[in-house]
Amino acid sequence: MIAGFCVERNPEPWQAPTPNEQALRAIVLRLDSLQVMCTQESCRLEVARNAVKPGIASHIEWLDKEIKALTKKIGEHMDGGR
Please tell me the predicted confidence (pLDDT) of residue 79.
87
Residues 60, 45: contact at Cβ < 8 Å? yes
Q: What is the DSSP string of 43-60?
A: HHHHH--TTTHHHHHHHH
- Average pLDDT over the chain, rounded to an integer: 94
User: Residue 76: inside a domain, yes or no?
Assistant: yes
pLDDT classification of 81: cutoffs 50, 70, 90 = low
Has residue 10 been placed in a domain? no
Q: How many domains does the chain have?
A: 1
DSSP-derived letter for residue 11 is P
Q: Is residue 8 part of a domain?
A: no
With respect to residue 5, please indicate whether it lies within any of the assigned structural domains: no
Does residue 50 lie within any of the structural domains?
A: yes
Separation of alpha carbons 59 and 31, rounded Å: 15
Q: Is residue 26 part of a domain?
A: yes
pLDDT tier for residue 80 given thresholds of 50, 70 and 90: confident
Does residue 37 form part of some domain?
yes
Give the model confidence (pLDDT) of 35-57 as tens digits: 999 999 999 999 999 999 999 99
Domain annotation covers residue 13? no
- 55: domain range? 18-80
